């Protein structure tokens, strides 16, 4: 339960960070606005075409009498909208991050510099960053689509389909939404897709505490656009936690007066400073060497 609260706390901290740095808030709004216009057009098309789609998919019901034909097709239309909304929440983030890759990279680096004084860089050119982001987003969407089909089918189960299935849908959406957002910071640290899933599986409640509330907020039109900059900032803070990096505030607390004489990271016995160790993310990727997170789980491929 503590991790759930911590995940939600990172979401709030991210929003606080961008509102405290107004230039970055406005900078991060632009990709979301473009994506919002595209998705609004898609939903208008779905609204006008959903009835025709369900009629085309159920030709066997053409001769059914009232109220059974309307009940069947009305239920299917509702499920089509539900599935579309489920996919939109996930794909909105993927598409926005792809469109706004340079924007959100810069925002994430600014958060890293504010918290730790340095921003790890992958060293890849922009075109390669875009390719990696698009490839990983596609891998997420394939997984989400599979879960979406299963949940769509389970939606026909009486009672369970109207209670348990929606809750599971929000959890799936929240987990993968967190993966997409933390990827901005973790890709710069050369943590690949499977390793990112491993990190999040190891802290699943943290991921859900961050992603599920954000998924619920994203259901409100236009809120997703306003929250995206803060979501990227909060996900960067979470990514630092996942890989064990400390923030500037934590470092100040450790180095402040009045503390105990116990040994702390970066100090020797009695608090005497020792030679700092090099940042492993600037030299080698420890996850690819040790691979401690490759454990089977419900989200693994």
Cα-based angle 125, 127, 129 (whole degrees, multiple of 5): 70
pLDDT of residue 149 exceeding 60, the answer is yes
Tell me what pLDDT residue 294 has.
44
In whole numbers, what is the pLDDT of the chain averaged over residues?
78
230 token code pair: 């803060």
pLDDT of residue 276 exceeding 60, the answer is no
Residue 182 pLDDT grade (very low, low, confident, very high; cuts 50, 70, 90): very high
Residue 60 pLDDT grade (very low, low, confident, very high; cuts 50, 70, 90): confident
Around Cβ 273, how many Cβ atoms within 10 Å?
A: 9
pLDDT of residue 10 exceeding 90, the answer is yes
Q: pLDDT of 112-143, one tens digit each?
A: 999 877 777 767 777 788 788 888 888 888 88
- Three-state secondary structure call for residue 83: helix
Residue 264 pLDDT grade (very low, low, confident, very high; cuts 50, 70, 90): very low
Do the beta carbons of residue 112 and residue 119 sit within 8 Å?
yes
Q: pLDDT of 34-56, one tens digit each?
A: 888 888 888 888 777 777 788 78
Q: pLDDT of 215-232, one tens digit each?
A: 898 887 688 889 999 999
Q: For the chain, give me the number of helices (H) and strands (E)?
A: 11, 0
Exposed / middle / buried, residue 41 (Cβ in 10 Å: 0-12, 13-18, 19+)? exposed
DSSP string covering 200-227, please? Answer: HHHTHHHHHHHHHHHHHHHTSTTHHHHH
Tell me what pLDDT residue 30 has.
87
Residue 203 pLDDT grade (very low, low, confident, very high; cuts 50, 70, 90): very high
* CA gap 6, 207 in Å, rounded: 9
Q: pLDDT of 78-117, one tens digit each?
A: 877 777 777 777 778 888 888 888 888 889 999 999 987 7
Tell me what pLDDT residue 265 has.
39
* CA gap 93, 225 in Å, rounded: 10
194-203, 249-258, 274-283: range with highest mean pLDDT: 194-203
pLDDT of residue 277 exceeding 60, the answer is no
pLDDT of residue 301 exceeding 80, the answer is no
212 token code pair: 């599920």
Indicate if the alpha-carbon torsion angle 104, 9, 86, 78 is positive or negative: negative
């Amino acid at each position: 339960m503590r991790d759930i609260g911590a995940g939600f706390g990172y979401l709030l901290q991210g929003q606080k960070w961008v509102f405290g740095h107004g230039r970055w808030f406005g900078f991060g709004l632009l990709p979301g606005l473009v994506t919002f216009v595209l998705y609004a057009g898609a939903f208008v098309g779905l609204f006008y075409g959903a009835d025709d789609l369900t009629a085309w998919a159920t030709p066997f019901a053409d001769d059914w009498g009232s109220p059974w034909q309307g009940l069947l097709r009305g239920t299917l239309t509702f499920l089509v909208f539900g599935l579309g909304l489920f996919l939109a929440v996930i794909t909105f983030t993927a598409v926005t991050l792809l469109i706004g890759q340079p924007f959100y990279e810069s925002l994430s680096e600014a958060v890293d510099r504010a918290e730790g004084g340095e921003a790890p860089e992958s060293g890849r050119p922009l075109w390669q960053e875009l390719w990696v982001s698009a490839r990983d987003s596609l891998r997420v969407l394939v997984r989400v689509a599979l879960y979406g089909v299963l949940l769509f089918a389970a939606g026909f189960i009486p009672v369970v389909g109207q209670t348990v299935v929606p809750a599971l849908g929000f959890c799936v959406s929240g987990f993968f939404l967190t993966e997409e957002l933390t990827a901005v910071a973790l890709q710069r640290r050369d943590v690949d897709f499977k390793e990112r899933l491993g990190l999040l599986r190891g802290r699943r409640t943290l991921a859900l505490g961050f992603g599920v509330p954000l998924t619920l907020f994203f259901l409100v039109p236009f809120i997703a656009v306003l929250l995206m900059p803060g979501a990227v900032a909060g996900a960067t803070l979470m990514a630092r936690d996942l890989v064990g990096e400390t923030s500037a505030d934590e470092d100040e607390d450790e180095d402040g007066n009045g503390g105990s004489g116990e040994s702390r990271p970066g100090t020797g016995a009695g608090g005497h400073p020792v030679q700092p160790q090099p940042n492993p993310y600037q030299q080698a990727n420890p996850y690819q060497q040790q691979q401690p997170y490759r454990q089977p789980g419900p989200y693994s491929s």
